[in-house]
Structure formats: C-alpha cells, structure tokens
Chains A and B, each alone.
Chain A
Amino acid sequence: MMAKRLPTILPDLSFKEALEITKIYSVAGELKKDSGIIMNRPFRNPHHSITASSIIGGGKIPKPGEISLAHLGVLFLDELPEFNKKILELLREPLEDKTVTISRLNCSLTYPCNFMFVASMNPCPCGYYGMIEKQCTCSELAIKNYLGKISGPLLDRIDIHIEVKPVKYENLNNKNPEETSEVIRKRVNNARKIQQKRYENLKVYSNAELMPKLIEKYCKLDDESKKILNVAFEKLGLSARAYTKVLKVARTIADLEGKTNIEKEHIIEAIGYRSLDKKYGEKF
C-alpha cells in the first residue's frame, strides 16, 4: 500500500518528460484511445510470475518491457524473493545504464528505462525472523535460501534499505494527523528545484546522476563527517558503489531539508539506510 502511494510524492513531470513517457506507451500500444499526453508518473507492479522478455522488453519486433514502461516512474516488485532469480539479475545493467538494448534477428532497439526501483520482501519464509514478540520457525538454511535469491550486486544497487516493523492492532485506527502526500510533494519539488539550479549548466538532472568528479565537487564533507564515514566503512564493510550512494543519499537528505552543506546528521542517516546486508550476515 505504501509503495502504491509513492507516485503521489514524486516531483511534477516536466513537459519533456511527459512526452517521453507518452511516446513509450504509444510504441507499446498501451495508449488508450482519445487519451492525450500522459501527465502522471507511471507506476508498474508486475506479478512475480513475469517472464524475462516481458520485464526487459522483447518480441519479434521488440516491444518495451515493464522497465521501460516504468520510465520516469516507479517499478515496484512486491515479494522480491518470489521472483525468478535470473529475472532479478537481468535488472542489474538497466539499473546502472538507465537504458536497455534489445537485440533480435530483425533489429536491435534501445529503450530508455530510467525508473525508480522499489521492492518489498519478508525477512524469511514465515515472516517472523527478527521479531521479539513472535518466534520465527524457519531453519537457518531456509532463511539463507530465501534471502539468497537477492544477490549482493543487486542489493548493492539499491540506495535505501529500510526495515519496517509490523503495525500493532491498536495503531491501525490511529487517527493522529500525519503528513499528507501534498506536503511531502512540496518538499520534494523544492529539493528538485535546488538540484536543477545547482546543476544548471551540467548535463545532470538530479543527485542520482552525479558522476564521481561531480560528487567530489558537490558532496563536500566536513572533517567530522569524513571520520564518521571512514569508521562506518570499516565496521559495516561497505562496497565502493555503496560509498558514492551514501554520499548521494546524504546530499539528497540535505537538499530536502534545504541545507547547503551535508552535515553529519545527514551522513549518519544515509549510512543507516545501508545496513541491511551487514545485519543479515552473509545470507544475501
């Protein structure tokens, strides 16, 4: 449910982006009759029985797959470990390159696929692993096999990992006012504006697209933050890819708060989003 609400807090589409999405849907033959230009970011959540060619794109004359249909929107994979492992590994290059080239005998086509990858999963087959209130009944091997479906390299490409606790019954009807999507969206749009202004003359659109050289320039840290990051790397055993991801996420958190510099709170929060692989041991 939470993932489905995600498009409501994503930044507004620019006209150029809207055209791009509409073009892809037109090529795929998914554009409904009489519907004009698509003005909403797409949200795709294919079932876990999906095949390789329908996620990447394919056919005699290759049609765009789910990853391209989610271009500039969200691709949500619910119950990630239930997907075929091979299919999950297929996502690796598209996630990195933001485009996918499909080669067939007839032709070779390149589709854009700059999507936000969102996935959800249980910690083990029974779902209770790590809960204090309830006992998990899975064997070590079962948990390992379950989590092992998500490979390290794939996990490494996911910027933010969050563990969520089950909602207690008494909280289900909680009427406490919470932040609405509108308010959040405003903040997101603001952060986007800050980024667009900062990268005005570069061919960069958002923090996620920063190249190593630019990261050095725009993600400067003070000495204390550097020290924290060093310790975190040693203790948590993060990869080189994770290093740039932490910096980019920290930059984004700072942007959301409207701060010009990355502070140590931002770095700590960003590191906190990367602890999943470490916590679950070598099971992934």
Chain B
Amino acid sequence: MAIKFAKELSQYGLNIISGMAVGVDSYVHEGVIEANGSTIAVLPSGLKNVYPKENKKLFEKIIASNGLIISEYEDYFSATSESFLERNRIVSGLSIGILVIEGAYRSGTSVTAKLTIENNKKVFCIPSSLKNPKGYTPNNLIRKGGILVTCAEDIIEEYAELDIIKRQETDYYVKEEIVGIKPEYQEIYEMIEDEPIDINEILKKTQMSLEQVNYQLMMLELDGYIISLPGKNYRRK
C-alpha cells in the first residue's frame, strides 16, 4: 500500500518525505526511487551513524537518486527514543500534509499527526480493518476529522490551488509490462492482485494441480510480474 501511494504521489511531482525507518518508511522511499521521483529522509540519528543499520543501502540509494537526507544531530549521534519524536517533528514541519498508513495505539505516527494538526496542515489517512492493531491510529484520526483517502487522487484534490499535474511517461511503462505475460500464465496472474493472496485461495479458484500452479507462480515471479511473500502469499509487483 505504501509503495503504491508513494509511486503515484511522486508521479504528480510531489516530493515524499519520510523517516527511513524499518517498514512503511523504507517502502515509501523505495517506491519513490522506483518511480524516479524525489524523496527526503529525515534521520533520528547522525548522518554517519545511520539508524537503522539495515537501511545503509537505502541511504546510498536515496543519495544516488538525487534525494535529500536530513539530520539535526551531530555525525555520530545514535538514535534515542526522544530523537525519533524530534525527527517526526521535522517530517511534519517540512511537508504540506501527511499521509498516515499505519500506526498502533500511542505510536510515533500519532505524534506526527498531532503536530501536523497543530500546524494547521492536512492529515490524510488510509482506513484499515478494526481487527488490525496497526490500524488504530489512522482510524482514530479519521474519527477526529482526518481526511479519509482511498487513492492518490483523493490527496491531489485537496490541493487544488497547487495545480498538480501527473507525469505521463510512467503510465506507458506499466501498460507495456502486462502485455508481456505469456497467455498460459494469464489466468493465474489475473487472480493475483495488489493485496496479497495465499496459494490455497489460488488453488481453489483454478482447475490446475498444485505442481502446475507452483510452476506458473515461479515463472511469473522470475519474469518479474509478481512477488512472493512470507507464508506462501503472492501479490503483484
């Protein structure tokens, strides 16, 4: 979900700001880079002591994509629990609005949202199932007047005064990709959506045997049309 929104918003020429943390933050940066957009990462640590360490690669990727990385700390400062919240303050301050994708009860996300509201900026939320513990913050924000969004266009509409126009060239690219699928894999490919689906569901919907389905899924994955996720789940790339 994060990747989809990041890609679409950056196609509108928006600069996407996030915190380069594990999870949604990283997906966002990755998504923007993939869509050739521009992104800003605000670190909770010093620039020579990247937190989290796993994202060192992403750090370099952002720089290579002409992105920007900001930190208000000295080079070797290590992240503390306070610096995360201070970081969120900058994320919120730099942006014209924020999009809340997920956040548990009393999470850092809710702090960012609070700051954004205090600064009279817009807060957008993706609604989520009541059963999802990480859906608490977006749902709660919607209740308190956050703007519910279902697609990137919902956000663009709110900024009518900015005259935001979508770039065209990336659209082309997506269409071309789908044409390349071999006809024999088409049936399986169509069952797989952006939301993960598990292999048992695919098996129920088709006449094919497990071996055949496994084979086709592997081929689709190797050709780069789908991604396999933990737990034998699949989604479109």
Contact = CB atoms under 8 A, between A and B. Distances in A.
A150 to B, nearest CB: 14
A135 B131 contact: yes
A184 B232 CA distance: 25
Interface in A216-237: 228, 231-232, 235
A209 interface: no
Contacts of A163: 230-232
Given A140-B22, A228-B222, A268-B218, A279 B230 contact: yes
B118 interface: no
B196 A132 contact: yes
B230 A232 contact: no
Interface in B1-35: 22-23
B222 A130 contact: no
A131 B132 CA distance: 13
A8 interface: no
Interface stretch (A49-57, A64-72, A91-99, A269-277): A269-277
A140 B133 contact: no
Contact of B222 (A132, A235, A265, A280): A235
A280 B233 CA distance: 12
Interface residues of B, number: 27
A228 B221 CA distance: 11
Contacts of A228: 222
B228 A275 contact: yes
Interface residues of A, number: 23
A189 B183 CA distance: 39
A100 to B, nearest CB: 34
Nearest to A171: B200
Contact of B54 (A137, A231, A269, A282): A282
A130 B230 contact: yes
A7 interface: no
Interface in B153-168: none
B231 A135 contact: no
Of B198, B199, B223, B230, chain A has the most CB atoms within 10 Å of the CB of B230
Nearest to A133: B198
B229 A135 contact: no
B66 interface: no
A3 B228 CA distance: 26
B178 interface: no
B185 interface: no
B218 A271 contact: yes
Nearest to A227: B222
A30 B211 CA distance: 43
Contacts of B230: 123, 129-130, 163, 279-280
Interface string B113-133: 000000000000000000111
B228 A279 contact: yes
Contacts of A131: 231
A135 B132 contact: yes
Interface in A18-73: none
Nearest to B198: A132
Interface of B: 22-23, 54, 131-134, 196-200, 211, 214-215, 218-219, 221-224, 228-233
16 contacts: A123-B231, A129-B230, A130-B230, A130-B232, A132-B196, A132-B197, A135-B134, A137-B133, A140-B22, A165-B198, A165-B199, A235-B221, A235-B224, A265-B211, A272-B218, A275-B228
Given A130-B229, A163-B231, 8 more contacts: A129-B231, A132-B196, A135-B132, A163-B230, A231-B223, A235-B222, A265-B211, A272-B218
Interface of A: 123, 129-132, 135, 137, 140, 163, 165, 228, 231-232, 235, 265, 268-269, 271-272, 275, 279-280, 282
